[in-house]
Chains A and B, each alone.
Chain A
C-alpha cells in the first residue's frame, strides 16, 4: 500500500465499501465478451438495484417509450451496455450519501449535486452530438465526478483552518491542496482506479478541475467539458456540492472556453432543479 492516498482510502469512515454487485457491474462494463446472462445474474442479485434500474429504464431520459417490467426486457430493449450503465449509476447512490461537514454538506446533498452534474452533462452531450452512448457515459461520469470529496472530509476536519465558506470551485480546490497537499479530484481518481472504474471515468474524475490535462480523443474531451460545465451550472442552481456559483461574467467566459453551445446551457439552467427533483423522486435519495 505505497500510494500516499491508499491509507486514506482504507481508513475513511464516511466512505462505504463499494457493494459486490456494483464491483461486478464495473467488471462487466469493461468486458466486451459479457453476455446478457452474465448481466442478468449480477443485476438480479440485488432487488433494490433492480428496482431502481427499472425506474431509470422507464424514465424519459433513458426509456424507449415502452413499459419495461423486468431486467430481461430492459436488456432486450436497451442493450447490455445501457443496462450496465444504469445499474452502475443506481449502485453508486449509497456510496455518495454523506453528510460531509467539511464541505458544509448535509446528508444527501452530495448525491443531489452528483445527480445534477450527471443529468446536466448528459443533456449537454446530447445537445452537442446526439449520441446515446456518449449521453449515458456523461451521466455516469457526472454522477461520480466528486467521489473524492468522500475521502477528504475526514482529513479536512482535523485541520485548524476550515475550507473557505462560499468559495467557488477553483478556490475550493486550491484550499484543499493548500491544507492537504492534494485535492478531491486527485483523491477521487485514485479511488476510481482502485475500484477499477473504466479508464475514461478515471480520467474525467481526475481532471474535472484540471482542464489542462491533455485528451487524446474527442469523445473523452467532450465528456470532460460537459461535466465541467454541468458542475458550474449546478452551482448556479444552488446544487453546488460545496462550491458557490460563479458571477455571470466568469460563468459565461468559462462556458465559452469549454466550447459548448450557449442555447442548451441556458435551457439547462432553467430546468436543472426540476430534473434533479424528478430523478431524486424516482431513485429515492440514494436508497
Chain B
C-alpha cells in the first residue's frame, strides 16, 4: 500500500507492507518494522524500534490529526485524482485538546513569538501532566483557555500564526 501523507512541513512518501501480523513501514529511505494494536479506548499502541507510543487518530475528511507525546501532527492524504494539492490557508497549525482534561497552566500569551517544540500549554489528562508543544515557529494569535479550565476532546487551545519563511 503506497501513501503520500502531507504534513504542514513536508510531503512524506510512505509505503506500508503487511508482514504476518505486523507491518513493515518505509518512510523516504528509512524502513522499519512496526506493530500496531488498537486499545479498547480507541487509541493505538504502536511499537517500533524506537519504543512504544500511544497515538490517538482523528479523521476529518482527507485529514488525519495524530496526537502523540503532546504534539498534534496534521497529515493529509492527497487525492490522486486532483494531483498536487495546496494547503488550506485557513487550517493553521493550531493546538487542540487530544483528550478531555484540565488546563494546569497556559505558558504563552497572545502576541508572543514561539518556536517549534516550545511548550505552550500544560494539560492534565488521565492523571498525567503533558506539555503540548508548538508544531511550528510563529506568533500566538489566540489563547482560548485559562488555568484550571476543563476542556473536551477537540477543543481549541492555542491558535498560532506560522512565521513566514525567509
Contact = CB atoms under 8 A, between A and B. Distances in A.
Interface of A: 1-3, 6, 9-10, 12, 15-20, 23, 27, 30-33, 191, 193-196, 198-199
Interface string B101-117: 00010000000000000
B41 interface: yes
A70 B54 CA distance: 33
Given A1-B41, A2-B40, A27-B69, A16 B127 contact: yes
Contact of B129 (A10, A23, A27, A30): A23
A73 to B, nearest CB: 26
B129 A196 contact: no
B129 A17 contact: yes
Contacts of A23: 128-130
Interface in B39-60: 39-42, 49-54
A143 to B, nearest CB: 18
Contact of B127 (A12, A30, A32, A193): A12
Contacts of A17: 104, 124, 127-129
Contacts of A193: 39
Contacts of A31: 50-51
Given A1-B100, A2-B41, A18 B127 contact: yes
A10 B51 contact: no
13 contacts: A10-B100, A10-B127, A17-B127, A18-B129, A19-B129, A23-B129, A31-B50, A191-B127, A194-B127, A195-B127, A195-B128, A196-B53, A199-B52
B73 to A, nearest CB: 16
